[in-house]
Amino acid sequence: MVPKLSESYVLDCVHAEQVITPALLIYPAVVESNIQATLKLANGDANRWRPHLKTAKIPAVIRMLIAAGVRNVKCSTTLELLAACEEGASDVLLAFSVTGANARRVLQIAKQFGNTRISVLIETAEQLNTWRGEDIGIFLDINSGMNRTGMSQEAIDAIVALAKLAGPQFRGLHYYDGHMSGISASEREAKTHEGYRWLLGLADRLKSAGIAVEEIVTSGTPAAPYAFSFPGFRNAPFVHRISPGTVVYNDMTSLGQLPGLGYAPAALVLSTVISHPTATTITCDAGHKSVSADAGVPTCAVLSHDGFTPLKPSEEHLPIDCGSPHARPAIGSKLYLLPRHVCPTVNNFDEAIFVKDGRVKGLERVSARGHETLLIQNAMPPLSSAIR
């Protein structure tokens, strides 16, 4: 079911006509409501949430999280790490294994922001050597069954040995169960709890080896509610935190996965109808360079148009089947698109328009999008001089 487009989402005509489309619209009042919905899920304990900033990416939104008491965050890039530190996060986990120049950049940022506790992921002794002796925390990355990164669950002895090797830098375990999105809702709780019981066993094994586990980080968006329903995380001898980031804005996928929890869309793409290619279709200016196609087709939903079916996009064009010639909006009409996957969609835009009560309230840079320069500062000559 496509959400209805309430009046609070719609820009008034004067403001809408001033916007160059496609445009990323952010609704800060809804962002705040989504933050509070997540804190309610955590029984009001902001310390249980370490949101992934791959979704937020905007300093103003990061500040909203921090103002709500969410001081521990997670990120994947050095640019996101820099933004988190600049906005005052107390504790940042770089949940992406880095080596070489990327690791040296993390150390630069850590030295620049001495008041922020920075930690990284490792899964080998060679990776640990990069951080040995530095003021950097160590989390062991555990393969949850997603088979993307992490140490095998069968390698218990190797996990214990690496944690012991990390010594006082060892902080805890990272267990991202993002593959739960592919499991039916009826089976999801049982499957997530199965993984969490294994984690408790690992924590006990580490404790028996004299290794204290300070924190365990789990749960992307689809698994988050079941982390809080898991009894083993209650009154545990370690801090347990969930790490969903999508819920700050939400999208077609998260709203389908987390019904009834008070979440609403806080990020939309404003698009303009540019063509009537057939009797029943329209094309708007929101191809996959605007609305990410990584989660498949349809890439989005058209709010307040249940009968509209977005088709396969090209770079700048998004054709939409309207179902009937009579349903086609006129060329020049504005459409409000809810992305299927909001995280990479936000990453497509340099700026976001903040909207309140139908009016543009301001323009914010999406300053944590993309990546930093390929050259470490002061390590090599500038590119312009290298090609003369």
Whether 80 and 95 share a structural domain: yes
Q: CA-based Rg of the chain, rounded to a whole angstrom?
A: 22
pLDDT confidence of residue 183: 85
Whether 106 and 209 share a structural domain: yes
Whether 82 and 155 share a structural domain: yes
Whether 287 and 338 share a structural domain: yes
CA dist., res. 373 & res. 379, Å (int): 12
Whether 200 and 301 share a structural domain: no
3-state secondary structure 238-292: CEEEECCCHHHCCCHHHHHHCCCCCCCCCEEEEEEEEECCCCCEEEECCCCCCCC
Residue 376 is assigned to a structural domain of this protein: no
Whether 165 and 222 share a structural domain: yes
pLDDT confidence of residue 379: 54
| CB-based contact 149:131 (threshold 8 Å) | no
Residue 381 is assigned to a structural domain of this protein: no
Residue 374 is assigned to a structural domain of this protein: no
pLDDT tens across the length of the chain (388 residues):
566 677 789 999 888 899 999 999 999 999 999 999 999 999 999 999 999 999 999 999 999 999 999 999 999 999 999 999 999 999 999 999 999 999 999 999 999 999 999 999 999 999 999 999 999 999 999 999 889 999 999 999 999 999 999 999 999 999 999 887 888 888 999 999 999 999 999 999 999 999 999 999 999 999 999 999 999 999 999 999 999 999 999 999 999 999 999 999 999 999 999 999 999 999 999 999 999 999 999 999 999 998 999 999 999 999 999 999 999 999 999 999 999 999 999 999 999 999 999 999 999 999 999 999 866 655 555 555 545 5
Which CATH number does the domain housing residue 224 bear?
3.20.20.10
Whether 85 and 212 share a structural domain: yes
| Model pTM score | 0.94
Which CATH number does the domain housing residue 315 bear?
2.40.37.20
Range of the domain at 319: 7-25+260-365
What confidence tens digit (pLDDT) does each residue in 136-182 have?
Answer: 999 999 999 889 999 999 999 999 999 999 999 999 999 999 887 88
User: How far does Cα 325 stand from its chain's mean position?
Assistant: 38
How far are the Cα atoms of 200, 313, 322, 335, 336 from residue 325, in angstroms, in the given order?
58, 21, 7, 17, 20
Residue 370 is assigned to a structural domain of this protein: no
Collapsing DSSP states into helix, strand and coil, what is residue 57?
coil
Whether 162 and 19 share a structural domain: no
Residue 386 is assigned to a structural domain of this protein: no
Tokens standing for residue 373: 């320069």
CA dist., res. 312 & res. 320, Å (int): 9
111 CB contacts (<8 Å, ≥6 apart)?
none
Which residue stretches of the chain are H helix?
Answer: 13-16, 28-41, 53-56, 59-67, 78-86, 100-112, 125-131, 156-166, 185-208, 224-228, 252-257, 342-346, 383-386
| CB-based contact 304:6 (threshold 8 Å) | no
Whether 338 and 307 share a structural domain: yes
- For 296-345, the DSSP string reads -SS-EEETT-TT-EE----SS-EEEE-SSGGGPPPTT-EEEEEESSHHHH
Domain count, the chain: 2
* Of the residues 216, 248, 280, the one at which a domain ends: 248
Strands 170-175 and 300-302: unpaired
| CB-based contact 195:145 (threshold 8 Å) | yes
Q: Is residue 354 within a helix (H) or strand (E), and if so which, with residue range?
A: strand 351-356
pLDDT confidence of residue 184: 84
Name the burial class of residue 181, with classes exposed (0-12), middle (13-18) and buried (19+) by CB atoms within 10 angstroms of its CB: middle
Whether 354 and 274 share a structural domain: yes
pLDDT confidence of residue 384: 53
How far are the Cα atoms of 121, 141, 208, 230 from residue 212, in angstroms, in the given order?
17, 16, 9, 21
Bridge partner residues of 352 (DSSP): 24, 364
How far are the Cα atoms of 44, 310, 379 from residue 178, in angstroms, in the given order?
24, 26, 37
Residue 254 is assigned to a structural domain of this protein: no
Whether 228 and 351 share a structural domain: no
Residue reference for tokens 């952010």: 26
Q: In what order do the strands lie in the sheet with 170-175?
A: 72-75, 91-94, 117-122, 137-141, 170-175, 215-218, 239-242
pLDDT confidence of residue 71: 97
Residue 70 has a CB neighbour count (10 Å cut-off) of 23
Tokens standing for residue 349: 């835009």
Residue 194 has a CB neighbour count (10 Å cut-off) of 10
Whether 233 and 270 share a structural domain: no
Residue 113 is assigned to a structural domain of this protein: yes
Residue 211 is assigned to a structural domain of this protein: yes
DSSP 3: P
